[in-house]
A and B are shown apart, each in its own frame.
Chain A
Amino acid sequence: AVGPKGIFRVIERSEQWSVGELEPEDFGAIRELSMNPIGDRIISAFFSPGKETVDFASFVRILAHFHPTETSRSRDGVQPEPANSRTRKLKFAFQLYDQDRDGKISREELLQVLRTMLEMQVTEEQLQSIAERAIQEADLDQDDAISFDEFRKVRGVDLIRDQIDNWEY
């Protein structure tokens, strides 16, 4: 779990905490993130669309998605879904694909992700055919895009659910 030590270190990272906000450039100081092919996308996941900065509260709220899911819940279903539920985690990953936040992963968005993950290692034709296969397998209502519900049902993503419950920070 993100305990006090973790937050302290996160605060140490950026001198801008005195102003109270983080900018995308501040994440550039994290070397392993620069090495990650989808590093830029993860960074932009912290920023609301159209906003250039993120404040501490929002930052922590997003990190809270990765708190381990509680499996035993003794509450009534009236409460809003907690930040760390499976759905929230899946939504986070879904938004890594769906950059324009229109609720659907279009063919172009899928291609963009594939390009950043593979870049020079495969040809453009191979990229196209990978994207084609992925959409065909996932797109159940034949609208040429993958909605969040279709995403959840994709082979592999439904299996993931058990594993992402155990992410611990």
Chain B
Amino acid sequence: MEMGAKEKNQQLHKPYSNGIIAKESPSSLQQELQELRGSASCPRSEPEFEMADIFYFCRRGVESILDDEVTKRFSAQELESWNLLTRSNYNFRHISLRLTVLWGLGVLIRYGILLPLRVTLAITGISLLVVLTTLVGFLPNREFYLSEKVHLMCFRICVRALTAIITYHNRENKPKNGGICVSNHTTPIDVIILANDGCYSMVGQVHGGLMGMMQRAMVKSSPHIWFERSEVKDRHLVAKRLSDHVADKTKQPILIFPEGTCINNTSVMMFKKGSFEIACTVYPVAIKYDPRFGDAFWNSSKFGLVNYLLRMMSSWAIVCSVWYLPPMNREEGEDAMQFANRVKAAIAAQGGLVDLIWDGGLKRAKVKDAFKEEQQKLYSKVLVGEQDEGEQNS
């Protein structure tokens, strides 16, 4: 099973498939309206309105009622054929007795054999992490070599605990000291997957409980950046701490997930520009999970973390590909947002994900009026007969 998965990993996933609506690739408002009008347009002095224009908006509207780009990013990706996990089964229909028996067998194996083994490994891994990092912390000078070894070993155990089968591509581009590593975010497990192959400084909020204990332990042997809840709002403080860390070339690269929230691994959503404002090299990484063996997406509105981990550990396996992309730097005359979009496009292209402009925060919030205004602007340009090639420059 492991070898088969490694081979399948090589393919990129097609971005526009598995949609409910047979859409052509998204053409711009201008292209579609011009098609609707039939004739080539030439610049006019007076805006020329056609009553038929309303059909375009009408159609787009109904299309979005049936299937829109944003909502479907926040539920688990649908599979073309069933992988014997109930959680991936959306339209339950009893197909045959044989399939049910197979499924039952699968349940026995997964919950009876795989889950206990994995839970044991996980507990071992986490305990070792806490104990060993604390021990290393007592050594003088924090012994970088040892702390690296300890980190790697513990994360490798955790990876085995999930039975994660990871294929790393282009390891020559691995992030180096004094840089920032950015990646698309699907699940908290992303951290373990990346930490399995290299040492990173993590960034995050201070938690209580088990997580908090792990955080305190890890920080004893290597420089991680944990923020108090109150400090998170202060953008300057955050930026300063990140810059200080990056300026010190002996420190490991920082790992950041600019989307800010978990997306279901079919697309990459808007990157928050904070991490791109710091002047340093950015190492993009694309992570793509193979949903056939187990869906890694954490739908935080549906499941809590413990529930999620149990589901992960009772799937068949977590199969994924990690691509290290060549490092990027902000260019002259590029602002943080443009740089962020450039990195995002590179990650989306490599991972076979759809590159979306939408903000992951839309999971919880409403659309801003600015988007509606944008549509109105584009439409008014069509009326006046302006020919724009491709995108607006804004």
Contacts and interface: CB of A to CB of B under 8 A. Distances in A.
B98 interface: no
- Among A8, A30, A122, A163, chain B packs the most CB atoms within 10 A around the CB of A30
Nearest to A90: B55
Contacts of A103: none
A29 interface: yes
B373 A36 contact: no
Interface in B65-82: 65-72, 75
A27 B367 CA distance: 13
Contacts of A138: 51
Contacts of A156: 36-38, 50-53
A93 B58 contact: yes
Given A32-B64, A66-B62, A130-B47, A154 B52 contact: yes
Interface in B349-363: 358, 362
- Among B20, B70, B373, chain A packs the most CB atoms within 10 A around the CB of B20
Majority DSSP secondary structure for residues of A touching B: helix
A33 B50 CA distance: 22
Contacts of A36: 57, 60-61, 64, 372, 375
B49 A93 contact: no
Contact of A126 (B37, B47, B50, B64): B47
B64 A30 contact: yes
A51 interface: no
Interface string A1-45: 011111011101100000000000001111111111111001000
A75 interface: no
A4 B20 CA distance: 10
A16 to B, nearest CB: 15
Contacts of B21: 168-169
A35 B367 contact: yes
A35 B371 contact: yes
A134 B69 contact: no
B70 A31 contact: yes
A138 B358 CA distance: 40
A120 interface: yes
B46 interface: yes
B51 A37 contact: no
A122 B47 contact: yes
A129 interface: yes
B20 A159 contact: no
A79 interface: no
Given A96-B54, A168-B21, A117 B376 contact: yes
B366 A28 contact: yes
Contacts of A13: 71
Majority DSSP secondary structure for residues of B touching A: helix
Contacts of B64: 30-33, 36
B358 A42 contact: no
B95 interface: no
B380 interface: yes
Contacts of B55: 93, 160, 163-164
A114 interface: yes
A130 B53 CA distance: 13
B66 A42 contact: no
Contacts of B63: 169
Contacts of A33: 61, 64-65, 68
Interface string A118-150: 111110001001100110001000000010000
Interface in B203-253: none
A56 interface: no
Interface in A84-135: 92-93, 96-97, 113-114, 117-122, 126, 129-130, 133-134
Nearest to B372: A35
A118 B367 contact: no
A28 to B, nearest CB: 7
Nearest to A117: B379
Given A30-B68, A34-B367, A163 B36 contact: yes
B51 A154 contact: yes
Interface in B328-382: 358, 362, 366-367, 371-377, 379-380
A119 B58 contact: no
A63 B51 CA distance: 22
B229 to A, nearest CB: 29
Contacts of A167: 59
Nearest to B62: A66
A63 B58 contact: no
B69 A8 contact: no
A32 B68 contact: yes
8 contacts: A32-B64, A33-B61, A34-B366, A117-B379, A120-B376, A122-B383, A129-B46, A133-B49
| A-B pairs, 8 with minimum CB distance | A156-B52, A121-B380, A32-B64, A42-B61, A34-B367, A32-B68, A35-B371, A156-B50
Interface of A: 2-6, 8-10, 12-13, 27-39, 42, 63, 66, 92-93, 96-97, 113-114, 117-122, 126, 129-130, 133-134, 138, 146, 151, 154-157, 159-160, 163-164, 167-169
